[in-house]
Amino acid sequence: MFEILKALPADPILGLSAAFKADTNAKKIDLGVGVYKDEQGNTPVLKAVKQAELAYFNSESSKVYIGPPGAAGANTLLQNLIFGASHPAVTSTRVRTIQTPGGCGSLRVAAEFIKKANPPATIWVSDPTWANHIPLLGNAGLTIKTYPYYDATTRAVNFNAMMETLGTVGKGDLVLLHGCCHNPCGADLNREQWQAITELALKNGFTPFIDMAYQGFGEGLDEDAYGVRLMAEKVPELIVSSSCSKNFGLYRERAGGLSIVYQSAADADKGQSNLLSVVRGIYSMPPNHGSAIVETILASTELTNMWHDELAEMRNRIKALRALLNQKLIEKGAQQDFGFIEHQSGMFSFLGINKDQVQQLVQNYSIYLVDSSRINIAGISQANVDYLAESIVAVLKK
CA 96 to chain centre: 20
Nearest Cα residue to 157 out of 198, 128, 195:
128
The length of the chain, given as a count of residues = 398
**C-alpha distances in Å from residue 117, one per residue of 52, 125, 190, 210, 270:** 38, 19, 31, 18, 11
Crossing angle of helices 47-59 and 301-331, rounded to 10°: 150
Amino acid at 280: R
DSSP H or E segment with residue 258:
strand 255-261
Sorted by sequence, the CB contacts under 8 Å of residue 136 that are 6+ apart come out as: 104, 107, 108, 111
> DSSP of 354-383, one letter per residue?
-HHHHHHHHHHH-EE--TT-EEEGGG--TT
Sorted by sequence, the CB contacts under 8 Å of residue 127 that are 6+ apart come out as: 146, 147, 148, 149, 150
The residues annotated with a catalytic role in the active site are 130, 211, 246
Nearest Cα residue to 85 out of 299, 239, 235:
299
The answer to whether 232 and 95 have CB atoms below 8 angstroms apart is yes
- What's the CA gap between 201 and 179, in Å, rounded? 16
